[in-house]
Amino acid sequence: MPFVPQVRFDPLSLWFSQTEWEFHPSAEDFVPVDGDFLAGEVCSGKPVAAVVLLGEGFNPAESLVVHYGDLAEAIIPLGSQGDR
C-alpha cells in the first residue's frame, strides 16, 4: 500500500444516528483535543482529534452509527444490547 503523507476530509460530513435519532453536528459541537480537526486535514505524524458533543436524544444503551456523508458508516456497539 502506498504511503499517503496527507489526507483531506470534511469534518462536517460526519453525522450520527440511532434507531429513532439523528444528529448532524455543527462546527460548535466539536471540542478540539489535538490539532485542528475542523481544518479537515490529517498529516503523517501529526494527530488531530476532537470530541463530539452528541446532545440530547443519544441513548448510551443503544449502538451508535457514525456516518461520513452517504459514503461510509461504522456501527459502534454500546451498552449490553448491541443492536441498532
- Structure confidence by residue, pLDDT tens digits, 47-68: 899 999 998 899 999 999 999 9
Predicted TM-score (pTM) of the model is: 0.82
Average pLDDT over residues 14-19: 96
- Residue 66: is it exposed, middle or buried by C-beta count within 10 angstroms (0-12/13-18/19+)? middle
Extents of the domains making up the chain: 6-76
What's the mean pLDDT when you consider all of the chain? 90
Amino acid 81: pLDDT: 55
- Taking the C-alpha atoms of residue 10 and residue 13, their distance in angstroms, rounded to an integer, is 5
